[in-house]
Amino acid sequence: MIVTTLAIVGTGLIGGSFALALKQAGAVGEVLGVGRTPQSLARAQALGLIDRAVDWAEAGRADCILLALPVGETAAVLARLAPHLKPGAIVTDAGSTKANVVEAARTALGARAADFVPGHPIAGSEQSGPAAARADLYRGRKVVLTPQADTRADALATVRALWEAAGAQVETLDAALHDRVFAAVSHLPHLAAFALVDDLAQRADSEVFFRFAASGFRDFTRIAGSSPEMWRDIALANRDALATELDAYLGALQTLRQAVADGDAATLLEIFSRARAAREQWTMDS
């Protein structure tokens, strides 16, 4: 057993799957849940994700507390939790952005920010909510931790051990680099998919466009089926890095647009060939 008591704030897909995996691995004793509504907590308990629902005071007495909520709520939740944290309690999160979470932890926790281990599991599903939770969600998936200079080494080791017990492969990254990387490989593609679908949907003759959209379109826009609220929050939480990445992408698209308009076959072939080679290399490596 890695921790005796684990509290999950937000018992949906991410938090619920973490709890299930750790219970199955025998890595936790009791799992406590804090949620938005008594109904959602009752559902999480009925599904076996948590042993019982608790208030902030009791959550603060857990050995480890995982925040699994929209990143925009991190600051408010940490502020509610802070007065109740027992000595030695470890707090961690599962948010998609990290620099803003680190800042929220510094503000809300003060000196206790050393007990906070920022984390980001690279796993998910189009489905959400407690019913979507599964014990194997993190198996073989990457989890990025972005410890700060003052993060307690034993807190980091415990959070790492928990994710590994859930089957994940843990890597550490600088928080700012994390945000740059995920702006480019995750946040930007989501915005680009939303933008294409919305651009078509707003046309008077949108029906004919959607009628002939096929498998390439389906894959390219699959992530436009994601939660609008969650992606609004992520876009705002990572706005600086995301704006920088959008500028780079707009530049790349402008280059292609110019090559198309100029009938510049060589430039088109060069870009397409380099992209395909890079993607093939990535597919082999990953």
Closer residue to a copy of itself in complex, CB, 38/216: 216
Closer residue to a copy of itself in complex, CB, 27/68: 68
Look up residue 112 and give its DSSP letter. G
Closer residue to a copy of itself in complex, CB, 107/169: 169
Q: Binding to a copy of itself by residue 214, rule CB under 8 A? A: yes
**How many whole angstroms separate alpha carbon 204 and alpha carbon 195?**
17
Of 151-170, which residues contact a copy of itself (CB under 8 A)? none
Q: Binding to a copy of itself by residue 236, rule CB under 8 A? A: yes
Which residue among 73, 112, 176, 217 contacts a copy of itself (CB under 8 A)? 217
Which residue among 2, 53, 144, 159 contacts a copy of itself (CB under 8 A)? 144
Q: At what angle do helices 228-237 and 239-262 cross, to 10 degrees?
A: 100
Angle CA 73–65–36, to nearest 5: 45
Q: Binding to a copy of itself by residue 220, rule CB under 8 A? A: yes
Contacts with a copy of itself: how many residues (CB under 8 A)?
89
Of 249-268, which residues contact a copy of itself (CB under 8 A)? 249-257, 259-261, 263, 265, 268
Closer residue to a copy of itself in complex, CB, 93/115: 93
Closer residue to a copy of itself in complex, CB, 83/228: 228
Distances (CA, A) of 38 to 11, 45, 56, 62, 245: 11, 10, 14, 20, 40
- Locate 197 and state its tokens: 């679908």
**How many whole angstroms separate alpha carbon 163 and alpha carbon 137?**
11
Sign of CA dihedral 41, 46, 51, 52: positive
Which residue among 1, 46, 157, 213 contacts a copy of itself (CB under 8 A)? 213
Of 93-122, which residues contact a copy of itself (CB under 8 A)? 122
Closer residue to a copy of itself in complex, CB, 75/192: 192
Q: Binding to a copy of itself by residue 69, rule CB under 8 A? A: no
Residue 26's region, left for phi above 0, alpha for psi from -120 to 50, else beta, is left
Which residue among 36, 52, 86, 232 contacts a copy of itself (CB under 8 A)? 232
Distances (CA, A) of 203 to 98, 186, 197, 208, 233: 37, 27, 10, 10, 27
CB of 31 to a copy of itself, least distance (A): 26
Which residue among 142, 148, 152, 172 contacts a copy of itself (CB under 8 A)? 142
Of 6-65, which residues contact a copy of itself (CB under 8 A)? none
Q: Are 31 and 54 in contact (CB under 8 A)?
A: no
Q: How many helices (H) and strands (E) does the chain have?
A: 13, 9
